Structure 1
Amino acid sequence: MALLAVGLLGAFALAVFVAVGGFVAVEVLLIAAVSPFSLLPLLVAPGLAVLVKALCSDDDRAPKVSLDASSAKVWALVRSVAADAGAREPTSVHLDAGVAVRLLSRRRLVIGVPLLAAVNPDQLRALLRTAFLQDIRFGRVIAWGVRVLSRARDELARARGLGALPRPAVRAFTGYYVRLAERVWASRDPVDVQWEREVLEELWERFLRRYAALGLRAGYLPSRPMAGFRRLLDAELPLGDEPRASALLAAESTLDQAFSDLLTDEQRAMPRADWDTLADLSQRHAVTRSAREVLGGLSLGDALDRLASGDLASLAKRGAADVVASVRQRLSLVVTAALADARVVHWRMAWPGPPEMVVGDPGAEEITAALDAAAAASPEVLPLRMVLVVAGVSPEYRPVPRAAVRG
């Protein structure tokens, strides 16, 4: 299989350069013949340019977070595994936010922080061994092929217009090649580690999408992102008292430093908040935006006056089949936003799952009953007005988005 992988990589490179040579030859002949079809070959030029760039470039820069001598336990494990695998020890060890252990050119080892947070030292040893074994018996060539093809696939995924023409073929070939490379190394990666890596990749993707990005719209990021990831791991895959590989690091904050590699410069400048504060800020931001849309410039008191007069249509969504149900749902958004501003309602993180709403005084049952009465076929808004008075919400309340506090 290793020979097949090397052969496929050579065939891919040969096909690209043959295509480039054929493109140049056809273009020269068509121009020489003053043919009206001389512009047709230019359709494939952008896609070929991406492929050539991927083959010829060596964008193999190590992540910024490197482990120095203070992380002696990690270095000791790395040197021990390298010696057992019969490979030279790496010149440097770096951390990134990927779910992998990989060996870059110039013998720079990169370890993903999700792995350190999830696996035990023995499992990390197995993953390190796999990375070092990829450096022998065609391993370096195959690993280079995975990087090159993945880079070409990613570049074509961002390409627009004619530059995206080779995208389906390259995506399919890359998928096949990566699966083949994994089969080449599969016998060197214990089954339990393979299974945990698959589960971990899914959890990491969910964490980034649902949790780490939770406060982005409100302009905030988590102050301790990897602590949140461990909470998700504890909820989905209980770790028990078994030591994690992250205990080998000199400082726990190193994990969060590596996580910042995922952020843009603009995101790095955002203020940070703990997870419960982040949940509250993000949900308040979302419900406030929805409440502004519902009221359309009215105050909460104005909206209740309209309901009291029987004008349900003014609060219902345009074209709603069930006006009463629409009013109930939209009025609930407005009242929730008002109660959140009054700090009667707040949110906290729930692992796993969406943020959990916590209701103070007046209680959830009283608020629900008042909303049901106000959003009925014959509205009774007095109970809701009383709830709002007790909560300290003014009839002049209008939802106003709150900007993130800097500094």
Structure 2
Amino acid sequence: MNAVTDPAFLSAADTGVLRLITAGSVDDGKSTLIGRLLYDSKGIFADQLDAISRAKYKRTVGDTIDLSLLTDGLEAEREQGITIDVAYRYFSTPHRKFIIADAPGHEQYTRNMVTGASTADAAVILIDATRVAGGQLLTQTKRHSTLAHLLGIRHIVVAVNKMDLVEWNQGVFERIAGAYGELAARIGIGRFDILPLSALTGDNVVAPSARTPWYAGPPLLALLESLAPASARHDGPLRFPIQMVARHGGERADDFRGYMGQVASGVLRRGDRVLVQPSGTPATVKSLVAHGDELDAAQAGDSVTVVLEEDVDASRGDVLVRADAPATVARQFEAELCWLDSQPLNPARKYLLKHGTRLTSAKVRAIVSRRDIHELRDVGAADAPFAMNDIGRVVIAARDALAVDAYRDIPATGAFILIDEATHQTAAAGMIRGVAES
């Protein structure tokens, strides 16, 4: 997957950057919407426009530009007219910078949507007005809305697309809005914004549309600019997963040992009293080093090398936490699990569990419930196998003790993935809810 790494872009203050994902069902117009945002906000270059205007897989008529090609970069995507992988793009306005991810709509690529949504501050859920004019939402709309809620995305924006194909009918929009309101209430989304638009024509995307005099809200871009930024991760408890131990080899008198990693949450300061978890060994931060310079402090997102006063047993997979705000150490916990493998979950099998920088083995000790996406209710685990794209509550038993937090509190130490030991494919993505009794 592509990653946005432009240093000039990412150097902006956190409050000025909004990470968002577009999601929904197949052919709802996600790629076209992103293309329209880029095009109307002057976020693309002339050579890019020229390239897509001459593309052999263009699906528009005449001289009309197929804006979906701006994000559908794979040959298979352009040939089939679908989105397979998550495409990241960025653009800016005078008010805010955006990192935007275009997620696939096909059910078989739900894992890609989970990947894109895991770092998003906002989700734009698209709905094709022509397919749900009667108010019956599609399964993928329900699934992606559920996942966005489980992943803790704060801002949900529902974009009712292709309103031009239903002649901007207010009744159609109101039926869809009512249906989504019922969905939101059932899955626990407390608040969402909804608006009518057409990604193809640009109505209500960047500029207001004269075709919707009955809609009093702002266009999509203005709405996204107004969203409150996500709370800064440095406001939370310190979590510093150790990625590797750095040593110069021991041939010098000043035997150097530093612990390298990225601050996942909170602020780490020189002189802090910390614990090495899961062992619980206490230590004191002697110095923080980055790019050869010593720092007084490092906050969430900073990559540093930590030097401790004491000689302690700490290695990759351990987590440094402040002594007065430790994580919970547990081998067994409850979690929401999204199954991503084509092979159903097998409770008799062991899986590799990747939690932060630690890799261990684990088993799904119990399937507490499975969520029926069609009926939006939890069903018994025995009613059907836990199969691809299923979402449910499980109990995980790990071989090694882990320093964990509830996902809603600290996503960095509340998230994990399960990996098939035989194929090394990602089998599931999980969000920890709490420690389970043994």
Question: Shorter-chain TM-score: which interval?
Answer: under 0.3
TM-score by length of 1: 0.26
TM-score by length of 2: 0.25
Name the structure, 1 or 2, with higher relative contact order (CA <8 Å, separation 6+).
1
Higher strand share: 2
